[in-house]
Amino acid sequence: MNKLVIVGGAAVVLVGAFVIGMNVYRGQQTEKVSQIAATDSDSPFNRPDAPMIGTIMAKVEIVEYFDPACESCREFYPYVKNVLEQHKNQVRLSLRYAAFHKGSDYVVQILEAARLQGFDIYVKSLETVLDAQPIWANHNNPNPSMVWTLLGNTGIDIERAKREMNDPRILARLKQDAADIVKLNVRKTPTLFINGKPLREFSPEGLASQVASEVRAAYKT
Amino acid sequence: MTDKSTSRQWNLLFVCWLIAGAATLGSLFFSEVMERVPCVLCWYQRIAMFPLAFIFTVGLFPLDVRCVRYALPIALAGWAIALYHCLLYLGVIPESLRPCTQGVSCADVKIELVGFVTIPLLSLLGFTLIISLLLAVRKGIKQ
């Protein structure tokens, strides 16, 4: 019986140390990110050339690092859109690319080429690419060039997009995102920040509640 | 066997359990909290370390010294991989040239805690301690 107490107590200590360490580490990371958001003159949270959904007037900004080939990004996108819809004109979404999967940098370049042809075409292309992800983004055998045939009814000028996808502006945009990923220590997709604070709980509810509380804080009269 | 020697064996196995438990949680901390992706060799060492925590738990209640028989080969396998990993880190063994796959290099030094202390070194230390303690327990049985 006594031995059970010793081992049980030791187990509690070990697990307790793990949990405390986790909270300390996460606190430090959040602190680091908010430090960057507040003081960095070249802050990753200030990228006006990144694609933005919603109005510039919105006081709450979600920054989402995503990969068009990532399943969770595909699954999470409707919830992000839903939050934007719910807080129309108060919340905007700034999209950043974290092309971690093989072949997704190619698709990102297609998306950015679509953006050069107009914002509506961009959003349609983005949603088509996410929607059709199981077709082109099989992890064992990704086939990003297939994306071209899928974009048929987005209104995109495919020949023009093919010409422009290596435009220096696009490559500069991607390089910037890659540098910001290192700065913010983004390791998973999607990674979301709400007004420069990491999303605490990765779930639709977690997103909804954290955004709602940021909106309350920003629009307090 | 005397009461004294059984209690000594229990204590030794308890320390083994502590090391295996701390190593298991520690490696989970690196991968789940700090989000460092474990490389292939780290996974092989985990495969050896994680079950030890369970084997020792069962071996402690009630004390069953035969668990040494089962734990020792696993610990030895883990120790060998940890040693190989450390030598790879130090550059004694070159990482074999193979086509790039998306993944993590085993030779990248990700964490040096205090100066030279790396994850594989901690792993090697853990397995070494566990093996020594298990040998001490086994010596007790034979006498």
Which one of A1, A22, A28, A70 makes the best mutation probe of the B interface by having the most chain B beta carbons within 10 Å? A22
Answer yes or no: do A29 and A92 share one domain: no
> Is the model's pLDDT at B101 over the cut of 60?
no
Name A63's bridge partners.
A94, A193
Which of A182, A195, A126 is CA-nearest to residue A154? A126
E strands, chain A, are 52-53, 60-66, 91-97, 191-194, 197-198
Chain A hits for B18, CB-CB cut-off 8 Å, are: 10, 14
Which one of A4, A7, A181 makes the best mutation probe of the B interface by having the most chain B beta carbons within 10 Å? A7
Answer yes or no: do A1 and A70 share one domain: no
Whether A176 is in a domain gets the answer yes
Whether A45 is in a domain gets the answer no
Banded pLDDT at B99 (limits 50, 70, 90): very low
Whether A81 is in a domain gets the answer yes
For chain B, the distance separating the N- and C-terminal CA atoms, rounded to the nearest angstrom, is 9
Answer yes or no: do A21 and A77 share one domain: no
| ipTM of predicted assembly, 2 dp | 0.79
From the list A11, A25, A188, the residue facing B21 with the nearest CB is A11
Answer yes or no: do A141 and A62 share one domain: yes
Amino acid at A198: P
A53 vs A125: CA distance, rounded Å: 14
In the prediction, which pLDDT does B122 show? 92
Does A10 contact B at CB distance below 8 Å?
yes
Q: What are phi and psi of A60, to 5 degrees?
A: -110, 130
Which of A99, A147, A143, A146 is CA-nearest to residue A125? A147
Chain A hits for B17, CB-CB cut-off 8 Å, are: 7, 10
Banded pLDDT at B100 (limits 50, 70, 90): very low
Answer yes or no: do A22 and A65 share one domain: no
Whether A61 is in a domain gets the answer yes
Contact yes or no for A18 and B29 at CB 8 A: yes
Answer yes or no: do A107 and A21 share one domain: no
From the list B18, B28, B37, the residue facing A10 with the nearest CB is B18
Mean pLDDT by 10 residues, chain A (221 residues): 87 95 90 82 87 92 92 92 93 92 88 92 92 83 84 88 90 91 87 90 92 92 71
A154 vs A111: CA distance, rounded Å: 12
Contact yes or no for B18 and A15 at CB 8 A: no
In this structure, are residues A140 and A205 in contact, taking their beta carbons and an 8 Å threshold? no
B84 vs B20: CA distance, rounded Å: 20
Enter the tokens of residue A69. Answer: 């080939």
Whether A92 is in a domain gets the answer yes
User: H or E segment at B42?
Assistant: helix B40-60
Question: CA of B33, closest CA in chain A: separation in Å?
Answer: 6
Q: Which of A159-168, B2-11, B68-77 has the highest mean pLDDT?
A: B68-77
Domain of residue A35: give its range.
1-39
Enter the tokens of residue B102. Answer: 């998306």
Q: What is the pLDDT of chain B when averaged over all its residues?
A: 85
Chain B hits for A103, CB-CB cut-off 8 Å, are: none
Domain of residue B111: give its range.
3-93+102-142
> Is the model's pLDDT at B105 over the cut of 70?
no
Whether A47 is in a domain gets the answer no
**How many structural domains are present in chain A?**
2
Answer yes or no: do A20 and A106 share one domain: no
Answer yes or no: do A5 and A64 share one domain: no
CATH of the domain at A185: 3.40.30.10
Question: CA of A56, closest CA in chain B: separation in Å?
Answer: 33
In the prediction, which pLDDT does A186 show? 86
Enter the tokens of residue B8. Answer: 């000594």
In this structure, are residues B14 and B134 in contact, taking their beta carbons and an 8 Å threshold? no
Answer yes or no: do A123 and A145 share one domain: yes
Distances in Å between the Cα of A3 and the Cα atoms of A9, A106, B63 are: 10, 60, 10
In this structure, are residues A177 and A98 in contact, taking their beta carbons and an 8 Å threshold? yes
Whether A46 is in a domain gets the answer no
Answer yes or no: do A134 and A60 share one domain: yes
For chain A, the distance separating the N- and C-terminal CA atoms, rounded to the nearest angstrom, is 61
In the prediction, which pLDDT does B112 show? 64
Answer yes or no: do A19 and A118 share one domain: no
**How many structural domains are present in chain B?**
1
Residue of A nearest to B57 (CA): A7
Contact yes or no for B33 and A11 at CB 8 A: no
Whether A122 is in a domain gets the answer yes
